[in-house]
A and B are shown apart, each in its own frame.
Chain A
């Protein structure tokens, strides 16, 4: 992998140079969190941690029209833009690699592929907060799946080249980058040590596939099911969740039928409902069990690695604290600090006043 150096003062011109490839998107502040937005690079937050929804929105949008039906004819519908997406952390890129496997393996998804082909992915290094656990999912560094990757060393960035497309894109900014020196490499090694020492979460996640399998009938699923709001947030914010649903919308303004594809969730009740009204997972606990066993066991046997990348989005997004960390802790018999666990042990009395 080739690597160059970019001085910090050249960051904005570097981004503007890359934007000749396409629309520039990067992490900007929204309330107390961050979102990927199409803004000038001056607004990008370089120490942003985990956007509210992950970068999957660029490849499988929240809602999109995939087919149109007009005058008795079906037409594929693409809404593809050339984009530069900046600010993906190693976990986000690992998640995109999972997406790539999923959407290209059995039935290559043309919508995904077209979006992917037209995107320049520019990763960015990060320092973990108290909810990051990519060091436990083997996703704290990344070697493939990006075009360029910037490591932030303070007064400079290291620019790693991850693909021919990335290499090509550097022609747009060739006057801004320079060769690295031994000092840069030494600083990088030190930076890695510092980063490694910052992770807070400590947990035996590697053992999860077996432990989950053994605990298929554990009472904790029932406890979580009691608290789960079936709001779907965990799946919407999970960067490796791929599920969608389809609906046909008739637009009376244009006399067109638009086939819509939109994010859907296995924790929704109708997800497992089949024709005739039978529901294979009527209970919330059954649906949660599906999510966790698919993510941490099923994906493993199908693709060789679990589908959790340790980004911590479920940890900071579930209103009732059902997330990979608290579930793993509960299965490992460590008492999790979680609303669902408190609810289970609270011996609630519900009375009529």
Chain B
């Protein structure tokens, strides 16, 4: 078996995920050793887009017609498609207001009424899975070096990796941290995919949720808990929205205002 052929691509986003791959300086030669890199525009203009790929890594959200065409081409020629970074996996911060029907209004506010952007028609930002089949994901804003190398290691051995189905709190407890929620801080640990190693709570900073919403999160309970601790519901909803992506946008609509009657307190 030859080396797996891979491509690394970016749609609409900050390119921070591709950059963090390049930042794996000490491991880059090893990566070249285990993979045959066919396309990685950020690192080299030499590329071969004709060849079939074993694995395609794609960052960024689908935010233009051109993004969509590009994604569909990549999907067609790749055996495994891996969404990397929050934008590709969940839609990114640009999708936090997903579906509230004010998207075109916001677009015009930013780019002007007679849109100056004429290269490609815009689309409401969505994650890759809204359009194509995604085989594996690596969340994070941006992705982290160690989780990326682990993912690469699995892919190089033909294993399709999956996101652990437990929250940041697990890794936070492994690190023997005090619970920030109990200390009265907003921490999105219980709602957020683990994998980062609980970096922020380990520095006494509440989790902001950049690894994206965990499947079957209990947003209602955490919202009520924060309200009981005296936080304003709108403030809480905003925090939940930032990295909530399209997954959370719908659920948040019903959470904007919560009132308690005859609460035990």
* A contact residues vs B (CB 8 Å cutoff): 30-33, 35, 51-53, 62-63, 226-233, 236-237, 248-253, 257, 262-265, 268-270, 284, 316-317, 319-320, 339, 341-343, 345-353
Contact = CB atoms under 8 A, between A and B. Distances in A.
B174 A263 contact: yes
8 tightest A-B CB contacts, nearest first: A250-B153, A231-B169, A62-B174, A229-B190, A236-B173, A342-B264, A346-B263, A353-B256
28 contacts: A32-B178, A33-B178, A226-B221, A228-B218, A229-B190, A229-B218, A230-B166, A231-B190, A236-B174, A251-B149, A251-B153, A252-B152, A253-B149, A263-B170, A263-B173, A268-B165, A269-B216, A284-B218, A319-B182, A339-B228, A345-B263, A347-B262, A348-B261, A349-B261, A350-B220, A350-B257, A351-B254, A352-B257
A24 B36 CA distance: 49
Interface of B: 27, 30-31, 34, 149-150, 152-154, 156-157, 159, 165-167, 169-170, 173-179, 181-183, 189-191, 215-216, 218, 220-222, 224-225, 228, 234, 253-265
Given A233-B173, A342-B263, 4 more contacts: A231-B169, A345-B262, A352-B253, A352-B257
A contact patch SS: mixed
Nearest to A344: B264
B225 A351 contact: no
Nearest to B162: A270
Contacts of A284: 218
A350 B255 contact: yes
A265 B170 CA distance: 9
A231 B264 contact: no
B173 A230 contact: no
Nearest to B263: A346
A273 to B, nearest CB: 8
Contact of A252 (B34, B190, B260): B34
Contacts of B218: 227-230, 284
Contacts of B254: 350-352
Contacts of B260: 346-349
A268 B174 CA distance: 15
A324 to B, nearest CB: 17
Nearest to A232: B170
Contacts of B152: 252
A352 B254 CA distance: 5
A329 B140 CA distance: 41
Contacts of B222: 229
Nearest to A34: B176
Contacts of B34: 252
B181 A319 contact: yes
A36 to B, nearest CB: 9
Given A230-B218, A250-B157, A352-B256, A345 B264 contact: yes
A252 B149 contact: yes
A31 B178 contact: yes
B178 A30 contact: yes
A252 B147 CA distance: 12
A350 B264 CA distance: 17
A231 B214 CA distance: 11
Given A230-B218, A252-B152, A269-B215, A350 B258 contact: yes
A114 B180 CA distance: 35
A156 to B, nearest CB: 32
A233 B179 CA distance: 9
B173 to A, nearest CB: 4
B158 to A, nearest CB: 10
Given A229-B190, A230-B190, A233-B179, A341 B264 contact: yes
B197 to A, nearest CB: 10
A262 B197 CA distance: 13
Greatest chain B CB density within 10 A among A250, A262, A263, A348 is at A250
A231 B170 contact: yes
Contacts of A316: 182
A347 B260 CA distance: 6
Contacts of B31: 252
Contacts of A257: 157
Contacts of A226: 220-221
Contact of A339 (B167, B225, B253): B225
A32 B234 CA distance: 30
A233 to B, nearest CB: 6
Contacts of B166: 230, 232, 264-265, 268, 270
A64 B224 CA distance: 37
A237 B173 CA distance: 8
Contacts of B179: 233, 317, 319
Contacts of A343: 221, 224
A343 B265 CA distance: 10
Nearest to A284: B218
B221 A320 contact: yes
Nearest to A57: B176
Contacts of B264: 341-342, 345-346
Contacts of B170: 231-232, 236, 263, 265, 268
Contacts of A349: 258-261
B224 A250 contact: no
A340 to B, nearest CB: 8
A25 to B, nearest CB: 13
A51 B183 CA distance: 17
A249 B169 contact: no
